[in-house]
Amino acid sequence: MILVRPRNPLNMGAAARAMANFGLEHLAVVAPYAPHWREARSAVGAPELLQNARETASLAEAVADCTLVVGTGTLTYRKAEQQVVQLPALAPLVQRELAQGGRIAVVFGPENHGLSRDDLAYCHALVEIPTDVRQPSMNLGQAVAVCLYELSSRAFSAVEELPAPHAAAEGSEPPTFRPPGPAVPSGALELLSGLIEETMSAAGYSPRSMQAANRHDLRLLVRRLGLNPADTRRALGLFRRILWRLKRPSGRRDESA
């Protein structure tokens, strides 16, 4: 579980308590607002979980070793740029990723506005908790508890029963946004998108004012492609070669060309 820029230590403690309720131990907190969040009294039965939580300065750092990153939020005030998964449909995705040995992050945004558009660019999918349209938002601690209950009852307990990584839940194919097989950690995808961005800049692809928009779009693109580790290495080699050629002094001749 990853909490991004949380503001209220009580909510953070409630999230930790929910994790303890369902047997999860790995919590990461990105740029927390309150300095003393590790002492939140609401973490009843889970003080060690808060004490051992990993604190990072950025979401990119928090998800670097994760092969499936799922953002949470409502579509009431945003237009999704990645696949939207209703919470009940999340379990098959998690089952498949766990069966393949992947590492999963479920990401929750700050209490005041949720995950930003830039935050969601690091996510393979956006999961939406079904709520009444008159009150779409949910308290952070409650949202964590609802998601974990769903995963605990539908995904975690069933992983060992899967006969193969491609097995479907309850006789139906799970929703998918990439081909099955070994997944690529988010850190490697971030390396690739950064290299492509540098290559575009060296080629004069677009004005400087467009660089932030290009960076956002590239993060989304490399996650949509569903690259496997071998394809990722090939793409890195390809763009490194292109970048080297672009940066080479114009007077030099490449005999291998």
Of how many residues is the chain composed? 257
Co-location of 43 and 154 in the same domain: yes
For residue 231, being part of any structural domain is answered with yes
For residue 30, being part of any structural domain is answered with yes
Co-location of 69 and 196 in the same domain: no
* Cα–Cα–Cα angle for 181, 183, 188, rounded to 5 degrees: 155
- Is 240 in a helix, a strand, or coil? helix
Of the given ranges (7-11, 49-53, 124-128, 150-154), which has the lowest mean pLDDT? Answer: 150-154
Co-location of 141 and 227 in the same domain: no
Co-location of 153 and 50 in the same domain: yes
For residue 203, being part of any structural domain is answered with yes
CB 28 within 8 A of CB 6: no
Helix (H) or strand (E) holding 13: helix 9-21
* Distance of alpha carbon 216 from alpha carbon 27, whole angstroms: 26
For residue 177, being part of any structural domain is answered with no
* pLDDT at res. 21: 93
Query: Which CATH number do you get for residue 42?
Result: 3.40.1280.10
For residue 176, being part of any structural domain is answered with no
Q: Does 200 or 257 have the greater pLDDT score?
A: 200
For residue 256, being part of any structural domain is answered with no
Co-location of 54 and 148 in the same domain: yes
Give the range of the structural domain holding residue 73, as residue numbers without chain letter.
2-161
Of the given ranges (40-44, 107-111, 180-184), which has the lowest mean pLDDT? Answer: 180-184
* Distance of alpha carbon 2 from alpha carbon 72, whole angstroms: 11
Among 161, 195, 220, the domain-final residue is: 161
Among 115, 145, 161, the domain-final residue is: 161
* pLDDT at res. 239: 96
Co-location of 73 and 149 in the same domain: yes
Co-location of 11 and 53 in the same domain: yes
In the chain, % of residues over pLDDT 70: 86
Sorting pLDDT into bands at 50, 70 and 90, what band is 177? low
For residue 179, being part of any structural domain is answered with no
* Distance of alpha carbon 159 from alpha carbon 48, whole angstroms: 27
* Distance of alpha carbon 72 from alpha carbon 78, whole angstroms: 12
Co-location of 60 and 138 in the same domain: yes
Co-location of 113 and 213 in the same domain: no
Co-location of 205 and 129 in the same domain: no
CB 185 within 8 A of CB 65: yes
Sorting pLDDT into bands at 50, 70 and 90, what band is 166? very low
> Domain count of the chain?
2
Residue 158 has pLDDT above 60, yes or no: no
Among 127, 161, 195, the domain-final residue is: 161
In terms of C-beta distances under 8 Å and separation of at least 24 residues, what long-range contacts does 233-241 make, across chains too? 235/192, 236/191, 236/192, 236/195, 239/192, 239/195, 239/196, 239/199, 240/195
- Is 125 in a helix, a strand, or coil? strand
For residue 201, being part of any structural domain is answered with yes
Co-location of 136 and 222 in the same domain: no
Q: What tens digit of pLDDT does each residue of 192-221 get?
A: 999 999 999 999 988 888 989 999 999 999
Of the given ranges (60-64, 106-110, 127-131), which has the lowest mean pLDDT? Answer: 127-131
Co-location of 48 and 156 in the same domain: yes
Residue 152 burial (CB count, 10 A)? 15
